[in-house]
Structure 1
Amino acid sequence: MVENNAVNYSEDNIRTLDWQEHIRLRPGMYIGKLGDGSSADDGIYILLKEIIDNSIDEFRMKSGKRIEIKVDEGKVSIRDFGRGIPLGKVVDAVSKMNTGGKYDSKAFKKSVGLNGVGTKAVNALSGYFKVRSFRDGKMKVAEFSRGIITENHEEKETSDRNGTEISFVPDADIFLNFKFRKEYIERMLRNYAYLNPGLKILFNGETFYSENGLKDLLNEELEGEILYPIIHLQDNDIEVAITHSDKSQTETYFSFVNGQNTTQGGTHLNAFREAYVKTIREFFNKNFDASD
């Protein structure tokens, strides 16, 4: 006699999840690992980054040169002075998947994130989430818990400058015993400043600002005396800063793509290395070894 141990599989096993249920059930798909904040790539920093990225995009669209960030215990508040979310779409923009202004190339010609998911993921993974949008003397406010709207306030007049403010508290049921570490946030904000010259970022009273972009980053990270002035090249879609110092025994690099620090390098860094070697060989008409 052969027993049939197959698990029953029927229509009852097919489920359709709401957007916030899917994010909460599979958070790793949206923010990577969860963690408790003891590592720079833990989920709570990804939540922070997702909201900051939207403010950075406003700056890149030449709207708003200042971002104010406050982190008090587990509560985060991020205020930019960009264009503000169109008031009639505030709720949809933070709670309806595949909804956002970045699908419109006129509204956002360049953007750090284009999939329309980031803010929704933060909303779904927060025990408390509040959005305030200020546009042309009016304000719209909505509040959520775990992605579900709890308060949908009526529009009202305001004297506040245009922009958007997002406040959230990561859900303690998902991010167990979490704690924001100041040093990880500061490293993130320094990189944002280097990648966006002219943008002023205020974090708990401290200011992050750069006038010369990656040149400032290289100056700060250099050890020893430089052997020649930093070569600093900038164009619409690329920026390079490079030099050697008298203590350059090994290579040190900082690579970024689309505003993100690619700590493991990638095809962009490999292509730069190849082009660098090719340029030196052609200039001196010698077949130097690439490792040199």
Structure 2
Amino acid sequence: MADQTDSERNVINQAGADAYDASKLGKLEGLEAVRKKPGMYIGGTDERALHHCVSEVLDNSVDEHLANFCSRIEVNIHVDGSISIRDNGRGIPVDIHPTYKIPGVEMVLTTLHSGGKYGQGGYKFSGGTHGVGAKCVNAVSEWFEVEVSRGGSVHHMKFERGKTVKKLEVIGKASGTGTYISFKPDAEIFKETTVFVSARISQRLRELAFLNSGLEIIFTDERPSEPKPERYFYKDGVEEFVKQINQGKTPLHPKPIRFLKETKLQLDDKPAEIHCEVVLQYNDTYNDQVMCYTNTIHNPDGGTHLSGFRSALTRAINQFSKANNLLKDKDPQITGDDVREGLAAVVSIKHSDPKFESQTKVKLLSPEVESVVGSVTYEGLMQYFETNLSIAKKIVDKALNGARAREAARKARETVRKGALHGGGLPGKLADCSERDPALTELYIVEGDSAGGSAKQGRDRRFQAILPLRGKLINTEKARLDKVLA
């Protein structure tokens, strides 16, 4: 095609501009946006997103427990592939909203960014801060039903793919209060799978019971021929959680260390509350496992509560070890990696206005939490160490051994890089054998030339090689790890 002149381009651009008018602009109404772009609201359409839907509904029941209105939650996976969640909380409001002129339950389940978690006094602490949880589940479900027991009556509504098919109606009498929600995931949305994994759900339910002492959770998978209900109830809550993390390991101290603190502060000229609970226990392994939660929501990517906990832990152990002369001048500096060896911990905060990275809440961003958790951890550890000196010394010794091993490994790497252990030839004092197949040979490592001489005389040259070592061999059973690696 020949090059276009400026005037020709202007004509073409103007024609395109005339064709691109307001009629070409789209607007997604109500929950249609969720069905069109589910990844924006539930993090995808895979198995993880499928189970995230369960968490979104479940978290509303847990919020009722956090507000001291719910003591029992029942979760059932049904034979038809649906799932139901029942609680004995207050029940979603069913009266007509004064502004929007629709029942509260319909507003909660169909209108994005609505609910009792927008500073209207519905909840002090809540996992569902964005107001899109249960209504998103409604949108991506083949069908979604809700029953609310409130005011002496049972109220019922039904939806299909986010649209109301049965208006709110009274279907019976109620002796108590609560909410019952059941839904079946839509295969049009979850193309990978719509099958709930029992083990995945039971793990989350057990986790919630640990984090909410006094909350009873009953889980039943009705798909097996003989369903067996599982009950989760933990009187000591997070302490039992940490003990479970340490199952199969040897604890460094018998009882987990626990700190609690409630903090009131001003955020953007508004009053806010942060309740912090930290529980930790060391074991005999070298790996760490720190679980972080905000309003009972797991934050797998950590966030400000994790960074506050880690920095305070390192500072407290270093401060205590120096104040009690547990470190020698030649000892290496204890780092964060060292103090976390063999650590099992749960950091759980309840925040009246938390900020997350996304709707899936994988990471906490609230900056004020870092100093609050740091203060709780540092002050709590220092007080604990002062009254539990023997345990404190065990923890410092473990961290110090980790530091020594790390330093020895660093020196070994430097030695290798300098080429001291590299080279194409064999060690100078090696008396080699004639056999070339390693599987048929034997190597005897002996202490010094004297022992080496006797061994050479008595060996079979065909398959036995002798390597005399210079100097006295270290007793690896009794020596410190850094000495062995040096």
TM-score normalised by L of structure 1: 0.91
- Picking from 68, 75, 81, the partner of 2:82 is 75
- Picking from 139, 142, 155, the partner of 2:154 is 139
CA contact (8 A) 1:87 1:139 kept: no
| Structure 1 position 262, deviation (Å) | 2.0
- Picking from 87, 95, 106, the partner of 2:94 is 87
- Picking from 199, 206, 209, the partner of 1:183 is 199
* Alpha-carbon RMSD: 1.9
1:53 maps to 2:59: yes
Output the amino acid matched with 1:231. I
Which whole-Å CA distance do the structure 2 matches of 1:140 and 1:91 have between them?
Answer: 11
1:275 maps to 2:312: yes
Which whole-Å CA distance do the structure 2 matches of 1:115 and 1:27 have between them?
Answer: 15
- Picking from 233, 236, 244, the partner of 2:282 is 244
1:227 maps to 2:252: yes
| Structure 1 position 105, deviation (Å) | 4.7
Q: Secondary structure at the match of 1:272?
A: helix
Q: Alignment identity in percent?
A: 33
CA contact (8 A) 1:90 1:140 kept: no
Aligned counterparts, 1:259-274, within 5 A: 259-274=296-311
Q: Secondary structure at the match of 1:82?
A: coil
CA contact (8 A) 1:198 1:211 kept: yes
Q: Across the two proteins, how many residue pairs are aligned to each other?
A: 286
The equivalent of 2:341 in structure 1 is none
- Picking from 273, 285, 292, the partner of 2:322 is 285
| Structure 1 position 151, deviation (Å) | 0.6
Q: Secondary structure at the match of 2:334?
A: coil
Moved more, 120-129 or 275-284: 275-284
C-alpha deviations, 1:174-213, integer Å up to 9, x for none?
1124211111111111111111111011110211121112
| Structure 1 position 22, deviation (Å) | 0.5
1:12 maps to 2:16: no
Q: Secondary structure at the match of 1:33?
A: coil
Output the amino acid matched with 1:190. R
Which whole-Å CA distance do the structure 2 matches of 1:234 and 1:208 have between them?
Answer: 23
1:154 maps to 2:184: no
Q: Secondary structure at the match of 2:207?
A: helix
1:258 maps to 2:286: no
| Structure 1 position 225, deviation (Å) | 2.2
- Picking from 98, 107, 115, the partner of 2:122 is 107
Which whole-Å CA distance do the structure 1 matches of 2:51 and 2:175 have between them?
Answer: 28
| Structure 1 position 156, deviation (Å) | 4.9
The equivalent of 1:27 in structure 2 is 38
Q: Secondary structure at the match of 2:181?
A: strand
TM-score normalised by L of structure 2: 0.56
Q: Which has the higher contact order (CA 8 A, sep 6+)?
A: 1
Which whole-Å CA distance do the structure 1 matches of 2:299 and 2:90 have between them?
Answer: 29
Q: Structure 1 segments of 4 or more deviating over 6 A?
A: none
Output the amino acid matched with 1:87. V
| Structure 1 position 116, deviation (Å) | 1.4
Which whole-Å CA distance do the structure 2 matches of 1:235 and 1:209 have between them?
Answer: 24
Which whole-Å CA distance do the structure 2 matches of 1:19 and 1:66 have between them?
Answer: 32
Which whole-Å CA distance do the structure 1 matches of 2:39 and 2:30 have between them?
Answer: 14
Which whole-Å CA distance do the structure 2 matches of 1:153 and 1:114 have between them?
Answer: 25
C-alpha deviations, 1:60-84, integer Å up to 9, x for none?
1111200011112420111100000
Larger % of helix: which? 2
CA contact (8 A) 2:186 2:194 kept: no
Could you tell me which runs of 5 or more consecutive residues in structure 1 were left unpaired when the two chains were aligned: none
Q: Secondary structure at the match of 2:291?
A: coil
| Structure 1 position 277, deviation (Å) | 1.4
| Structure 1 position 157, deviation (Å) | 4.5
Which whole-Å CA distance do the structure 2 matches of 1:280 and 1:187 have between them?
Answer: 33
CA contact (8 A) 2:155 2:172 kept: no
Bigger CA radius of gyration = 2
| Structure 1 position 20, deviation (Å) | 1.3
Which whole-Å CA distance do the structure 1 matches of 2:184 and 2:321 have between them?
Answer: 58
Output the amino acid matched with 1:224. K
The equivalent of 2:418 in structure 1 is none
Could you tell me which runs of 5 or more consecutive residues in structure 2 were left unpaired when the two chains were aligned: 96-103, 221-228, 263-274, 328-332, 339-486
CA contact (8 A) 2:31 2:112 kept: no
The equivalent of 2:113 in structure 1 is 98
CA contact (8 A) 1:130 1:141 kept: yes
Which whole-Å CA distance do the structure 2 matches of 1:107 and 1:262 have between them?
Answer: 24
| Structure 1 position 132, deviation (Å) | 0.9
| Structure 1 position 257, deviation (Å) | 2.3
